Amino acid sequence: MRVAERRAWLVLAGFVVLATAVGAAGWGGLFLGILFGLPLVLVIPGFALAAVLWPSGSLGRVERGAIAIGLSLALAALSALALNWLPGGVDGRRSTLLLGTVALAAIGIVLERDRRHVVPEGREVVLEEGEVALSPGARFRRATPLRPRQMAMLGAALGLVVAAVVLAVHSATTDLGPGFTQAWMVAQQPATGEVAVGLQNEEHQARTYDLQLSVQTGPTGQGPQGGTPPSGQGGLVREWKRVRLSPGQKWTATATVPNPAPGTVADLRVYRADAPTHVYRQVQVTFEAGAR
Amino acid sequence: MRRGRIFPSERRADLSAAEREQLSQEELLPLRDTWGWFFPLFLVAAAGVLILALADERARASAPGVLPLFWGGLLLAYLPMAVRTLAPGAWRRERIALLVALTVVLSLVKLLEQPAGLSFFDEFIHWRSLIDLQQSHSLFTPNPLLPVSPSYPGLESAAAAVIGATGLPVAAAAPVVVGAARLVLVLSLFLFFEQASGSTRVAAAGTVLYISNPRFVFFDDQFAYESLALGLAAFVLYLHLRRSRGDAPASGSWVLLAIPVLALVVTHHLTTYALLGFLVLWVVVAELFRRLPRRPALGWGQALRLARPPSRDPELAAEPLALAVFILAAVVMWLATAGWATLGYLLGAIGPSIQEVAALLLQHGPPRQLFQGGNGQLQPLWQRVLGLGSALFLVGMLPLGLAQVWRHWRRQPLAWALALVALGYPASLGLHFTANGAQIADRLSQLVFLGVGAVLALTIDLVWPAGLLDRGRAGLRRSGIRALGVAGWLSVVFSGGVLVGWAPQLSLPGPYLVGGDNRSVDTISIAAAVWTRQQLGPGNRFAADRDNRSLLGTYGDQYPVSEDNVMPNAQIFLSPTFDRYDLSLLRRSRVRYLLVDRRLSTALPLVGTYYEPGEPVPQPAGHPIPAGWLDKFDSVPGASRIYDNGDIRIYDLGALLDARG
């Protein structure tokens, strides 16, 4: 192995150590996580393992790249299976550790195997895609870097793609669809009649609501669709007037239904201030022995 | 002095191995720019991607002019790069770069439609498996959305590794994993075809044709186990063929091959079985080749009876008997240990299709209306013409490709195996005349297009001869005309395939649609699912419709029941009354909560079912569920409507179940 190549493997080993630490410990936030984590999971383990298992120069650059990604994906797909039977079980960060360990072990084998075959500088031959090794005397020009016009076109293309993604994300996240209001009531302490009520405004503007909690202890005249109060015995328990909520704002409260005998129905009706006679939302809780 | 192998132009690449060996070192051209047309064409494709994003934005706003923008952007993103990829004179590096860019660009189509999170039906299944894996730190946790999914944890394992290493949310990690798998798929196919044919142009053509299959743009881009498995399967094929060349280390390359094989086995059942089936076919064909009569006097029967020694023919050396045995052993071991639910699941999926096909052949039932959605809507004429045209164009070219196989490749068992796979395409078209069979045919397209791509790629030099480039201006003009012809053919095949492979209404975002998979995922449904987790806690059993079950199982972290795991939902919802039988069914299944989406009464379901396949049809037929059927729970004594957001209501039957229990 040439000295330059050996150095490259050592740098890669250092990258793997750093990437494993960043991934396992969660350092540096999302940016560093992506920068170090993606190559660690999707490229390096396969690349290093392929160098161990198929060390000859007969694989071209594209082949090595495809094998690196394919093998890394396969190792990632198997990582949970390996961890499942170890103490601690399956965890994303333990998968990172495992893949980093595999990569480091493979790099170590490559370095150790080639330690005796280091070639001094000066006989380096840079090969273009599709070539095989020629005689030592044959030298080819290094692959040409991108021309400015090519770089400009590539930059413009990537810019368009990024713009498309940004547009899509912005459009999707600001498209909230039709507005709506959520209303709910759940029995928190059925034995004592305590209920938790809530309202959340997902309309596209602020709204003002009136809420009425009533109770009925006998047969109801109508189901919850009806605009009239329950016809059984009971009555208004609690009212909340002029509850104003901004878009996205949530409101909660608790109330106690007196004497919640089996069959008692707590009925919460929500009215919008701009339509005070129309039941906007309606929820109910029926108390029964052992109910929530 | 060893010869270099450089393909400075396509014509040299198309030379046989013996002819290439004759090239002297002096004939090797000095290195020069080999990117060709890649950068300008990538720029054009990127413009197409931006147009697609504009189309999606207008679709969300229900603005006019969406379809021309969508199709214009899609064809601009696909066509120039696809045509150049298989053009004569393109460099190898250029073809590879174009294929990679094409893969990336086509992967963005789905991402642009739904960038804010996972939304396709199958994606929720695997998202749930991933949630379970992250919460329980163990594999094989039961998944209420698809019981067989935990038995194949490869995809979730890879996603968890990416999430753990990067900190990305699921919505971002999922497309990264699938994107990497698609890259592996495309590169592996290219390298596989190149190894098999010895031509980069044929390889590029085969890969472009595979990319043009109906499922590539949408279905195979979703976070589902098949998406990863296809990449692994292609990778295995390439590695096998590559190591059979003779320059691979024997044991090292076997280990290299075993790793993706094991990963494939634990990732997806059908893709593994399809790969195994193809390898067995290849082995059988190779074995028949071994017994080919050497002398004309011997007939096939006599040849078969002769005991012949193994051939040293290099074309037979690649036969994958050992690989097929290894995969079979791995499959059996996995079925015996973790995948025992697989066979029942697959029989349940394939059985109805077989029954429908048998009924059709015996004329016991009318054929399914083509290009009709589950809600009875017929696609516009131009879409039907394109869809049919795509199939006809492919079938029409197959005889030409098969003739090429016979003329130039008939001593290659692999070519015959691929040709037989290609013949599966016209055979699968008949399945579209049955409801369940159409789904099977769509799934098959991802597999048979391996053969279709390979066979049709062999016609590329007939259709667009490289030799035209050597005939001066007239030759260039004729080459240009051929290019236009190829572009026209690819346009029809690709766009028709997209229309066939994914319901057109689901290709663009837009307002809520009843039974509309990703078009049924909106803020109203998500809000209800999230509420259940926040207010009721996780793990409650829910009965709900098909699309809301997906959201309850992921956003809600609940346990939605279905006929796959506990009980059919249709019985509870698709009837005008709620009676004692329904109550006993819920009690037996320990279902406490019902989620009712009142929007189901506004239209027929796009995918054909509200709750599950085979559900009773609401009466009168051809009409949506009557609203009264969905509102009946308000009249059930003891049922509590605990949540109401206008369209979605959640009922707690706890008091009712406990009172009678």
The pLDDT value given to residue A5: 81
Helix (H) or strand (E) holding A35: helix A29-42
The pLDDT value given to residue B348: 76
Mutation for testing the A interface, residue in B151, B644, B653 having most A CBs under 10 Å? B644
> Which residues, including other chains, have CB under 8 Å from residue B338's CB and lie 6 or more apart?
B139, B140, B151, B266
The pLDDT value given to residue A116: 67
The pLDDT value given to residue A59: 83
Nearest CA in chain A to B37: A150
The pLDDT value given to residue B614: 82
For chain B, residues with pLDDT lower than 50 are 1-14, 20-32, 295-314, 660-661
Full-model pTM: 0.90
Mutation for testing the A interface, residue in B32, B39, B136, B536 having most A CBs under 10 Å? B39
Which residues in chain B touch residue A268, judged by CB atoms under 8 angstroms apart? none
The pLDDT value given to residue B250: 79
**C-alpha torsion angle, residues B352, B356, B362, B368 (rounded to 10):** 180
Confidence band, pLDDT 50/70/90 cuts, at residue A175: confident
Average pLDDT rounded to a whole number, residues A198-209: 95
Which residues in chain A touch residue B33, judged by CB atoms under 8 angstroms apart? 144, 147
In the numeric block, which tokens belong to residue B529? 């699912």
The answer to whether B525 and B649 have CB atoms below 8 angstroms apart is no
The pLDDT value given to residue A29: 84
Q: What is the pLDDT of residues A3-17, one digit of tens each?
A: 778 888 999 999 999
Nearest CB to B43 within list A34, A99, A156: A156
Q: Highest mean pLDDT range out of A122-131, A239-248, B18-27?
A: A239-248
Nearest CB to B523 within list A89, A171, A177: A177
- DSSP sequence for A61-129: HHHHHHHHHHHHHHHHHHHHHHHHTSTT---HHHHHHHHHHHHHHHHHHHHHHHGGG-B-TT------T
**C-alpha torsion angle, residues B83, B84, B88, B89 (rounded to 10):** 170
Residue B248 to residue A54, Cβ atoms within 8 A = yes
Tell whether the model's pLDDT for residue A232 goes beyond 90.
no
| Minimal CA separation from A79 to chain B, in Å | 7
B96–A contact, CB cutoff 8 A: yes
The pLDDT value given to residue B661: 42
- What is the value of ipTM here, to two decimals? 0.89
In the numeric block, which tokens belong to residue A178? 């039709």
The pLDDT value given to residue B371: 81
Residue A169 to residue B115, Cβ atoms within 8 A = yes
A287–B contact, CB cutoff 8 A: yes
Average pLDDT rounded to a whole number, residues A44-50: 95
| Minimal CA separation from B428 to chain A, in Å | 30
**What residues are paired with A238 via a beta bridge?**
A213
Residue B659 to residue A37, Cβ atoms within 8 A = no
Residue B157 to residue A157, Cβ atoms within 8 A = no
A147–B contact, CB cutoff 8 A: yes
Tell whether the model's pLDDT for residue A242 goes beyond 90.
yes
| Minimal CA separation from A8 to chain B, in Å | 23
The pLDDT value given to residue A230: 43
The C-alpha atoms of residue B337 and residue B511 are separated, in whole angstroms, by: 45
The pLDDT value given to residue A39: 95
Q: Which of residues 280-299 of B touch A (CB under 8 A)?
A: none
Provide the pairing of β-strand B593-597 with B648-652.
antiparallel
Nearest CA in chain A to B512: A177
More confident call, A126 vs A240: A240
B213–A contact, CB cutoff 8 A: no
| Minimal CA separation from A221 to chain B, in Å | 10
A148–B contact, CB cutoff 8 A: no
Query: Residue A154's Cα: distance from chain center in Å?
Result: 29
DSSP letter (8 states) at residue A232 = S
Which sign, positive or negative, has the C-alpha torsion A22, A24, A26, A32? positive
B530–A contact, CB cutoff 8 A: no
| Minimal CA separation from A213 to chain B, in Å | 13
DSSP letter (8 states) at residue B27 = G
- DSSP sequence for B362-374: TTSSPPPPTTB-T
Query: Residue B369's Cα: distance from chain center in Å?
Result: 23
A141–B contact, CB cutoff 8 A: yes
| Minimal CA separation from A188 to chain B, in Å | 10
Residue A75 to residue B656, Cβ atoms within 8 A = no
